[in-house]
């Protein structure tokens, strides 16, 4: 139970020297810490007058002792992404941080197997409304951390290494994977492609393949973007993964570790705030497969820049922010210019009562528009 239990940057899990709780051995209890819920949940347990800025009412819904607040997480947010200007801005940045934090933790253990033999995420969910330590909140609504963990634990998965820029393919199945096609692309902040390479990968059962690092790229913006697409020999997509990465990693002071490791310096990611807004068109359709009803949302990036962390939700009605618990197959997806993607979730009429369900699409730099049919 070495932790950490509070926020650490994504690179922590790979650069830890093998003593403080990174991706080595078996970590019986650990996580990247705070997990602020979506606004639809926060409004249920934080009184309106206490919603913003944070105060002791928020802290009452954190942990105990040194974890009775989210200061380390909030300070990291301000240092890396810029101080939040509103509750909505805080929600957006918090989901990005929890997504990349949970994904990095699970991916690091996967890359290092079986020198790393496993970990137990602290924790799955809370017994009361909380702003810390969960993958889905008290109301069963998943946030960024849930989908980051889900992405990292794909059975056949392509991932980026923060420490050395290498690309790793992980086979979580007990079957040989032959002729996998891995495409690696790097984009700068203007969405200009700066690197493009394709490799053919063979993977043994329950195996890991570490591929050469992405080379140094002159005058690359900070942060930059890495897109990984992995398909099988027949062309079926197995994994699609997207990273926003600083050119300089944080400096970690491991000697000051105490159930977390606070960086001596944080990377500057504030340039993400200046990404151009893009229009994402979406259309939704419900269909029945057997006795189960499904909602599919078709997304299309109609802009000339990438659409970062596009999030789909479903409100119980047009006059509310209330969101029922839904198990989307993917969320917080990033769309390149002209790219389309479909996400799907099972739904049930009982989740909405007398309300009329309404799809909501948002994102880091996204203006969403509902259309009758999206471009494919």
Helix, strand or coil for residue 93?
helix
% of residues, the chain, pLDDT over 90: 83
HSE-CB at 74 with a 13 A cutoff on CA atoms is 17
Which segments in the chain show pLDDT lower than 50?
none
Structure tokens at 202: 């063979």
Instruction: Determine the pLDDT at residue 83.
Output: 97
DSSP 245-286: E-SSPPEE-GGG-SSS--EEE----GGGGGPPPEEEEEEEEE
Instruction: Determine the pLDDT at residue 333.
Output: 98
Superfamily (CATH H level) for 275-370: Immunoglobulins (2.60.40.10)
Instruction: Determine the pLDDT at residue 355.
Output: 67
Instruction: Determine the pLDDT at residue 354.
Output: 67
Report the CATH fold assignment for 1-274: Immunoglobulin-like (2.60.40)
Residue that the structure tokens 């996400």 belong to: 343
Is 275-370 in the same CATH topology as 1-274? yes
pLDDT per position as a tens digit, 146-188: 999 999 999 999 999 999 999 999 999 999 999 999 999 999 9
Q: Are 247 and 224 in contact (CB under 8 A)?
A: yes
List the alpha helices (DSSP H) in the chain.
Answer: 12-15, 39-45, 56-60, 71-81, 87-111, 144-152
Instruction: Determine the pLDDT at residue 257.
Output: 81
Q: Are 361 and 312 in contact (CB under 8 A)?
A: yes
* Whole-structure pTM value: 0.96
Average pLDDT across the chain, whole number: 94
Instruction: Determine the pLDDT at residue 16.
Output: 87
- Show the beta-strand stretches assigned E in the chain: 25-30, 116-121, 156-160, 166-171, 177-187, 193-203, 208-213, 224-231, 237-245, 251-252, 263-265, 278-289, 292-301, 307-315, 333-335, 340-347, 358-362, 366-370
Domain positions in the chain are 1-274, 275-370
């Amino acid at each position: 139970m070495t932790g950490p239990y509070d926020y650490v940057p994504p690179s922590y899990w790979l650069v830890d020297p093998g003593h403080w709780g990174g991706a080595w051995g078996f970590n019986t209890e650990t996580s990247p810490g705070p997990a602020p819920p979506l606004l639809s949940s926060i409004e249920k347990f934080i009184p309106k007058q206490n919603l913003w800025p944070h105060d002791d009412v928020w802290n009452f819904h954190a942990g105990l002792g040194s974890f009775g607040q989210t200061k380390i997480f909030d300070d990291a947010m301000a240092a890396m992404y810029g101080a939040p200007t509103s509750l909505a801005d805080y929600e957006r940045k918090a989901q990005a941080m929890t997504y990349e934090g949970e994904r990095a933790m699970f991916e690091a253990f996967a890359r290092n197997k079986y020198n790393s033999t496993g970990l137990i995420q602290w924790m799955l969910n809370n017994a009361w409304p909380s702003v810390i330590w969960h993958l889905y909140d008290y109301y069963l609504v998943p946030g960024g951390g849930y989908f980051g963990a889900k992405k990292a634990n794909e059975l056949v998965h392509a991932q980026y290494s923060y420490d050395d820029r290498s690309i790793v393919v992980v086979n979580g199945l007990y079957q040989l994977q032959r002729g996998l096609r891995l495409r690696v692309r790097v984009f700068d902040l203007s969405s200009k492609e700066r690197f493009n390479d394709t490799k053919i990968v063979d993977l043994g059962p329950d195996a890991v393949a570490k591929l050469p690092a992405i080379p140094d790229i002159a005058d690359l913006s900070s942060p930059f973007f890495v897109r990984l697409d992995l398909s099988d020999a027949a062309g079926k997509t197995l994994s699609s993964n997207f990273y926003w990465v600083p050119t300089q990693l944080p400096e970690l002071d491991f000697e000051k570790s105490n159930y977390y490791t606070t960086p001596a310096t944080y990377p500057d990611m504030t340039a993400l705030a200046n990404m151009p807004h893009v229009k994402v068109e979406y259309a939704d359709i419900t269909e029945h497969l057997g006795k189960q009803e499904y909602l599919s949302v078709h997304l299309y990036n109609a802009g000339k820049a990438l659409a970062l962390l596009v999030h789909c939700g479903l409100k119980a009605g047009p006059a509310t922010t209330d969101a029922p618990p839904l198990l989307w197959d993917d969320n917080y997806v990033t769309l390149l210019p002209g790219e389309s993607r479909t996400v799907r979730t099972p739904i049930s009429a009982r989740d909405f009562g007398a309300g009329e369900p309404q799809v909501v699409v948002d994102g880091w730099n996204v203006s969403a528009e509902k259309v009758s049919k999206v471009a494919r």
